[in-house]
Structures are given as structure tokens and as C-alpha cells.
Chain A
Amino acid sequence: DTEVTQTPKHLVMGMTNKKSLKCEQHMGHRAMYWYKQKAKKPPELMFVYSYEKLSINESVPSRFSPECPNSSLLNLHLHALQPEDSALYLCASSGLLQSNTEAFFGQGTRLTVV
């Protein structure tokens, strides 16, 4: 099973709302990622968790707050977002060995901030 599941698929939120994106994998991967993809652009890394600890934060604004409750789950908490934060948010997971470096992506959450 190489599936990464993201919920919800679509989300519309106001600038004062608080919402969360969820991601789950059961491949035994110990690294999980959040990427942001704007229209007609490639994905850009936001956060990396390895062994449930935040290992990379690509200078993401604090209105985005990641959380890794266990090795299978990854959340992204959203608060006071701006319209320019509207994008496709992709979750991914990978191993940390030479043999399993490839990242597997979920279908994404299409976020619209109004």
C-alpha cells in the first residue's frame, strides 16, 4: 500500500477561521512532509517531520502550525490565513534509508481563503 490519505479534499475558510488539514500514511515511513503548490507552479516544501520531530521549517509564517501526533499522522493547523495562502496543500511521506528515499504524495487539499 503506497497510499497517503489527505482530508478534506476541499476547504473554504474565512480569514478569521481556524481549521486543520489531516494526513495519514501506513507505509511505516518515518518522515512526513507538507508542501504548498500555487497554481501553475511546482510544489514548495513547508515542513519536514522525522521520527515525529520537526526537522525542517522553511521559514513558514506562524499562521501555519504543523503537528505530528504519531508516526502515521500529520496535521497542519491553519489560523488567520490570508487570501494569498489559497493553494493546493500536499502531504507526503518517505523513508530515511537509501533504499526508500522516494516521497509518496497524497491527493492534496485545495484550500481557498476568502
Chain B
Amino acid sequence: AQSVTQLGSHVSVSEGALVLLRCNYSSSVPPYLFWYVQYPNQGLQLLLKYTSAATLVKGINGFEAEFKKSETSFHLTKPSAHMSDAAEYFCAVTNRREYGNKLVFGAGTILRVKS
């Protein structure tokens, strides 16, 4: 069975500070990993994905994540937070299947950006 643990249900940073959102996964086979962002009353937007190519993955809006197999981690970072980054972030894992990919999400981390 696969699972994702997001450390910290709430993270608060100042505008311009480093953003670090933590994600650890558990998977018996090589995983596919994703980060999604959700703004209030909206759907999920894909930030970035890891699918066994480069371990450092760059996404949209200046976000990136590094896959570390030895630590079973896939933490999300952004060098400088903007007010518009305030949202909820979900880490998710799946194993690719020919009949469809079941995403298993972490509990989510709400990011607050202080001015």
C-alpha cells in the first residue's frame, strides 16, 4: 500500500522568505510523485511531478522539489514566497497502472504568507 505523510498542517512564512513544505512517502514499488496546490473553493492545480527521470524537478510558479530515495522524501521548495502562494498544498503518490492511476494524497499543508 502507498501512503504520503505531510509534516506540518500549517506553515507560515514571511513574504520573500524560503518556502519548505515536507512530504515523505511510502511505496513498495518506484513511485510517481506529485505536488498540487488548491486555492479556496477551487480544484487542484498541478505544480510538478516526479516520474523517475531527474531527481530535481522544477515546476510552475518557481517551485521545485527533490526526490530523495534514501530518505523517501519529496519536499517542495520555493526560494522567495509571494503573497499569491498562500493556499493549501497536497503531496500525492501513485503507481502507474494500465487501467488508471489512483492518487493517494497527503493530509495537506496550508501555507500562510505574511506581509
Contacts and interface: CB of A to CB of B under 8 A. Distances in A.
**Is B truly associated with A?**
yes
B44 interface: yes
B96 A101 contact: yes
Interface stretch (B12-20, B65-73, B100-108): B100-108
Interface in B28-80: 32, 34, 36, 41-46, 49, 51-52
Contacts of A104: 46
A107 B41 CA distance: 8
A105 B100 contact: no
Describe B's contact surface by its main secondary structure: loop
A107 B38 CA distance: 10
Interface residues of A, number: 31
- What range describes how many residues of B lie at the interface? 20 to 34
A42 B107 CA distance: 6
A105 B43 contact: yes
Interface of A: 4, 6, 31, 33, 35, 41-45, 48-50, 55-56, 88, 90, 92, 94, 96, 98-99, 101-108, 110
15 contacts: A31-B99, A42-B90, A44-B105, A50-B99, A56-B102, A88-B41, A90-B44, A92-B44, A96-B101, A98-B51, A99-B51, A101-B94, A102-B46, A105-B43, A106-B43
